Structure 1
Amino acid sequence: MALTVSVETPLQDDIRDMVAKLNAHLKPLSPPEFQFQLTVEQMAGADATVFVARDAAGTAVAMGSLKVHDETTGEVKRMFCEPDLRGRGLGRSILDAIEARARETGLQRLVLETGATPGFEPAWALYERGGFTVCPAVLDYPDSEYSRFYEKSL
């Protein structure tokens, strides 16, 4: 599949649609108080960079973002791939772009929070194949049975 990954504003209808699909997918997997979702407006903030994968027709098919917390730590947020295209390396392409940007900006560590309940296994596999390792709770996330945390030293 011909694919381009680039930095884009999340304030576009197709990206808003992907965020809505991601939220709908996540909603039944964890209690609402353990879902830490950035809104599209938060994703458009100066501390976040959104990466969008588009196919040859220009259709947005995957996304993810890098949220910078301080001069050394960045967080992977809002990873999503269209369900019918999963397993084709799109998530890895987005994750690679996030890591490259983190390195370019001098970050030393990437962290992330994802769900710990059934349904998150593909996310765990993606992050682990990308060199992330399970770690204790990061940033200001509560440690709970609904969250799994990962980190990667850059």
Structure 2
Amino acid sequence: MIKIIRTDSKNSDFSGLVKELDAYLKITDGDEHEFYNQFNGITVLEYVVVAYLNDEPVGCGAFKRFGDSSVEIKRMYTMPKTRGQGIATKILNHLENWAKELNYSSCVLETGIRQKEAVQFYKKNKYTIIPKYGQYVNMDNSLCFEKLI
């Protein structure tokens, strides 16, 4: 059974999953990894979820404030051995609902075009491509998305 808990960036299971995510991104981002990595610090994340399957941490996600009415989804990850079981969707839905509870009306995010599974995942979950924002404006590898919640 999948259990999702709300926590913050001090959670050790979250930190462990993010280490796995960063190792994956270092390969897929290639030479651009250091640029992207500077924007992925987790110490500022107050809104974090961790998914457990049979009490084992298997996925995570977070968000941070992005303007007055939006949050930015960050650090979405599901362990490869548990992909295809709907865990990422449950994580994302939980983050969206939490943001709604806090009176936000949309979620934005950035992912890389090389993360083909992530791009398809966000499209499947009704995120639409928007113009690149902030630090991603001049990054050819970046795709930015938004969803009204």
Could you state the TM-score of these two structures normalised by the residue count of structure 1? 0.87
CA 82–126 in structure 1, closer or farther in 2 if over 3 Å, else same: same
Instruction: Give the conservation status (yes or no) of the 8 Å contact 2:9–2:44.
Output: no
CA–CA separation in structure 2 for the residues paired with 1:153 and 1:14 = 29
Deviations 1:35-75, CA, capped at 9 Å, x for gaps: 144223222xxxx300110122x211100001112320101
Give the match for residue 108 of structure 1.
Answer: 105
Instruction: Give the conservation status (yes or no) of the 8 Å contact 1:34–1:146.
Output: no
Q: What SS class does the counterpart of residue 27 from structure 2 fall into?
A: coil
Within 5 Å, which residues of 2 pair with 1:65-104? Answer: 65-104=62-101
Give the match for residue 17 of structure 2.
Answer: 18
Instruction: Give the conservation status (yes or no) of the 8 Å contact 1:34–1:147.
Output: no
CA–CA separation in structure 1 for the residues paired with 2:103 and 2:42 = 25
Q: What SS class does the counterpart of residue 106 from structure 1 fall into?
A: coil
- How far residue 33 of structure 1 moved from its aligned partner, in angstroms, is 4.4
CA 145–71 in structure 1, closer or farther in 2 if over 3 Å, else same: same
| CA-based RMSD | 1.6
Which letter does structure 2 place at the counterpart of 1:29? T
CA 110–135 in structure 1, closer or farther in 2 if over 3 Å, else same: same
What is the identity percentage for the equivalent residue pairs of Structure 1 and Structure 2? 27
Unaligned runs of 5+ in 1: none
| 2:118 is the alignment partner of 1:123 | yes
Which letter does structure 1 place at the counterpart of 2:14? I
Give the match for residue 50 of structure 2.
Answer: 52
Q: What SS class does the counterpart of residue 138 from structure 2 fall into?
A: coil
- How far residue 153 of structure 1 moved from its aligned partner, in angstroms, is 1.5
CA–CA separation in structure 1 for the residues paired with 2:144 and 2:123 = 11
Q: Which has the higher helix share?
A: 2
Unaligned runs of 5+ in 2: none
Which letter does structure 2 place at the counterpart of 1:42? V
CA–CA separation in structure 1 for the residues paired with 2:140 and 2:64 = 24
| 2:42 is the alignment partner of 1:40 | yes
Give the match for residue 27 of structure 2.
Answer: 28
Report how many residues are paired: 146
